[in-house]
Amino acid sequence: MMEYLSELKECTLCQWRCGVDRLKGEFGVCETGIPIVASKTLHPAPPKSLTIFMEGCNFRCLNCQNWDIAHSKCTGKNNFIEPRKLAIEGIEKINSYSGKRIGADRLFFSGGSPTPSIPYIERVVEEARKIEDIKVNFDTNGFMTKSSLKRVLDFTTSITFDIKAYHDDVHRAITGAPVKPVLRNAEYLVENAVDKLWEFRYLLIPGVNEEDVFHLSRFLSDIDEEVPLNFLAFRPNFVMENYRGVEKGELEKAVKKAKDAGLQNVSWSGLPGIKGNSTVLDQTRYTQPGAKIAGGIAEDKGCITHPRDCNSCTALKDCKIKRYEPSKKT
Ligand code: SF4
Ligand code: SF4
C-alpha cells in the first residue's frame, strides 16, 4: 500500500478519532476503506469546477442528498484511481471546451465527505500542481480534527463549509454527531483563513433547524459580521423522504433572521416548495423542538441511540440509518 495512505492504519482524520485500521478492512463511523472516487463531473454552480465526489461520510445525516455515495459500504479497491491519473484527468477536464464553457477553474472535492480521504486528496493536489497551479476547493461538514483542518487549509484555495445546526441536540438528531468541533473549526477558519472561506452553507429543514438560525448567525457575526452564509433549500430526501420541503417564505425568513443577528452577506439557493408529508414524531430525549422531530424520525427508522451519537452506538455496524433505502431518489 502506498506510503501516503499509511496513516489510515490508525485513522484519526476526523473528530471521531476512531483509530481503526482502514487498510485492513476495519471500519470507523465513515465505513471508508481506501479513498475511492465515486464520480466526477463539471459543475456550473459557484465555485465552478470539476467536482470530485469521494465515497463515504463521517456523518449519518437523515436528510443526506448524496446517500448513495455517502453511505455505500466502501470496499471498492478495484475502483481506486492513482492520484497522478486523477490529477491529469482533472486538469484536462477543466481545460476542455466544456470546462472552459462553464468557466470551471478548480478541482472541487466533495462527497459524502472528503475528510476521510484527506491524505489521498493531498497527493492528487500535489500531482495536479506539478502540471499547473490549479485552484482547489474542499467541501466540508466541519467535523474534522484541528490538525486535519490545518492540513486542508495548506492545500486549498477555497472552502465551502456546511453547518447543519447550532444546538448540540439538533445537530446530533440530524447528523449523529456533536456540534462543538464543527463550531470550533468554523471559528478557527474565520479567524485564521477567512480569505479561503467561499461561504458557510446551511440546509434549512422546516421545523427542525429553523430555530437555530438566529443563534448560529449571532455566533458567526460575533466573529466576523461579513462572513457569507447561504441557506440551501431542504427537499424531502433519504430518511426524511416523507418530511415536507422548505417553502420560499421560510428561506426568506431565515435570511432576515440572519441579518437581524448581524450578518451582512446572507442569501438562499435551491429549489423550495417540494411537497411531502409533515409527519411529526416526537423523541423525548431531546430538548429543542426541532431535535425532537428529527430524533423521532430517526427512531422511527431504526436509530437506537438517543441523543444520537454514532461512535458510541452499539448498532454502529448494523445501523438502520446508514443502510436506509429511500423509495425514490430526489
Ligand atoms: S470516521 Fe473519521 S476517524 Fe473514523 S475512520 Fe472515518 S475518517 Fe477516520
Ligand atoms: S443507530 Fe447508532 S450508528 Fe446508526 S444513526 Fe443511530 S446512533 Fe448513529
Question: pLDDT of 189-214, one tens digit each?
Answer: 999 999 999 999 999 999 999 999 99
User: Quick one: cell of 253?
Assistant: 425568513
Ligand 2 mean position to 307 CA, how many Å?
10
Q: State the CB neighbour count (10 A cutoff) for residue 123.
A: 19
The candidate with the shortest Cα–Cα distance to 110, out of 154, 173, 53, is 53
Ligand 2, atom 6, lies closest to the CA of: 303
CA distance 188 to 295: 29
Q: Which ligand is nearest to the CA of 22?
A: 1
Share of the chain above pLDDT 90, in %: 89
pLDDT digits (tens, 9 = 90+) for 53-80: 999 999 999 999 999 899 865 545 567 9
What does the H/E/C string look like for the chain?
A: CCHHHHHHHHCCCECCCCCCCHHHCCCCCCCECCCCEEEEEEECCCCCEEEEEECCCCCCCCCCCCHHHHCCCECCHHHCCCHHHHHHHHHHHHHCHHHHHHCCCEEEEECCCCHHHHHHHHHHHHHHHHHCCCEEEEEECCCECHHHHHHHHHHCCEEEEECCCCCHHHHHHHHCCCCHHHHHHHHHHHHHHHHHEEEEEEEECCCCCCCHHHHHHHHHHHHCCCCCEEEEECCCECCECCECCCCHHHHHHHHHHHHHCCCCCEEEECCCCCCCEECCCCCCCCCCHHHHHHHHHHHHCCCCCCCCCHHHCCCHHHCCCCCCCCCCCC
The full set of domains in the chain, from first to last, is 3-318 (3.20.20.70)
Mean pLDDT over 157-171 rounds to: 98
CA dist., res. 296 & res. 289, Å (int)? 11
**Residue to substitute in 73, 312, 316 for testing ligand 2 pocket (most ligand atoms within 8 angstroms of CB):** 316
Relative to the alpha carbon of 58, which ligand is closest?
Answer: 1
The mean per-residue pLDDT over the stretch 310-325 comes to 94
pTM: 0.95
List the residue whose alpha carbon is closest to atom 5 of ligand 1: 28
Ligand nearest to the CA of 25: 1
What is d(CA 291, CA 133) in angstroms, rounded to the nearest whole number? 44
pLDDT of residue 220: 98
Atom of ligand 2 nearest to the CA of 313: 2
Q: Place 233 in a pLDDT band, splitting at 50, 70 and 90.
A: very high
**Rg of the chain over CA atoms, in angstroms?**
19
Atom number of ligand 1 nearest to Cα 27? 5
Residue 45 in grid coordinates: 454552480
- First-to-last alpha carbon distance for the chain, in angstroms, is 38
| CA 319 to ligand 2 centroid distance, Å | 6
Mean pLDDT value across the chain: 94
Is the CB of residue 53 less than 8 Å from the CB of residue 35? Answer: no
Distance CA 10, CA 144 (A): 15
Q: Is residue 294 within 8 Å of residue 317, measured between CB atoms?
A: no
